[in-house]
Amino acid sequence: MNAPQRQSAPDLLARARALEASAPLEAASYYHQARLADPACLEAHNALERLGSDHAYGKWMRVDSVIDARDDIYRFFEGHEGVTNPIRDYLADGWRTLSELMLLLEREGKPLTGVRSMLEFASGFGRFTRHLVRVLPGRVTCCDVLPGSTDFVRERFGVQAFDSQFDPARIAWPGRYDLIFILSFFTHVPLHAWPQWLARFDAALDEGGLLVFSIHNPGYAIEHSVKLDDQGGAFLRSSEQSALSTEEYGTTFATWERVRREIEAGIPGARVEIHPRTFWVAQDAVVVRRG
């Protein structure tokens, strides 16, 4: 039953595939050995999840832990020089976002568990969604422009989901939301497009709702020698998303003053609070309420 040691991941995968239909337990042993040989092997990981193996991450994380191979955020972890176990770190990072958001909303007097309905915009392939649905079952709607992403989160995590558009004016919101959460979207969208996007998000907010999004901390630009223009902004034509044009989705930096100006242009009279370095290493949280 035990898979032989010191074989390559491709050899172990081949043996696992051949055995899966007739001897799933033995196949799971080979898949486990393949993932040990190559910690980034998504085929082995997803097979262990599918087979309900004792080595499946979902067993102890208590979330659906299947990862879509098209997920560029996973690929970011896979290619990061400081990451030795990209699958585990990718899944744990979604949990980190959940804890960061819960702490932020507690400070804002709007606990996540009390949110009536939530839109996760730019939800991707569910890095965060898989954790969120445990807190808000039946209350999460996802939206993204990435091909296949909304089908994946709908089928895997049971959320409502719809496709986004590159032109915000073309988005038809299926409802209004008590919380709209947008992580690392405005960190990529050109500043000239912010007011139109913000106006559209405001149109989707329910009465008394919150809009929460992230931006790069201004100090992050300094740390990476990014020079801001006279208006306090910069847009670089590069990002980790290979499926999107860098003309529309690059990397954006702005001072807090510039951020506030763009919000005022999109949502006049809005009340704005900025919490430094709330998400990931260097993303600030922006909390917007109607005035």
Spatial CB neighbours of 195, under 8 Å, sequence gap ≥ 6: 262, 265, 266
Q: Which of 200, 206, 220 is nearest to 266 (CA)?
A: 200
Q: Helix, strand, coil shares of the chain as percentages rounded to 5? A: 45, 20, 40
Q: How do strand 205-216 and strand 233-236 relate by DSSP bridges?
A: unpaired
Instruction: Say if CB 255 and CB 228 are below 8 A apart.
Output: yes
User: Which tokens sit at 62?
Assistant: 């208590």
Res 112: pLDDT: 99
- Name the residue with tokens 């005022």: 264
Q: Write the pLDDT tens digit of every residue in 163-190.
A: 999 999 999 999 999 999 999 999 999 9
Instruction: Say if CB 28 and CB 56 are below 8 A apart.
Output: no
> What distance separates the 2 farthest-apart alpha carbons in the chain?
67
The H-or-E segment that residue 84 falls in is: none
Q: How far is CA 141 from the centre of its chain?
A: 14
Res 240: pLDDT: 65
| φ, ψ for residue 44, nearest 5 deg | -65, -45
Res 291: pLDDT: 73
Res 249: pLDDT: 85
Spatial CB neighbours of 108, under 8 Å, sequence gap ≥ 6: 210, 273, 287
Q: Give the DSSP letter string of 220-283.
A: HHHHTTPPP-TTSEEEES--S-TTS-TTTS-EEEE-HHHHHHHHHHHSTT-EEEEEEEEETTTE
Res 2: pLDDT: 59
Res 220: pLDDT: 94
Res 80: pLDDT: 94
Beta bridge partners of 215: 284
Instruction: Say if CB 141 and CB 161 are below 8 A apart.
Output: yes
Predicted TM-score (pTM) of this structure: 0.94
Res 243: pLDDT: 64
With a cut of 50, list the residues of the chain below it in pLDDT: 4
Q: What is the spatial distance between Cα 70 and Cα 146, in angstroms, rounded to a whole number?
A: 9
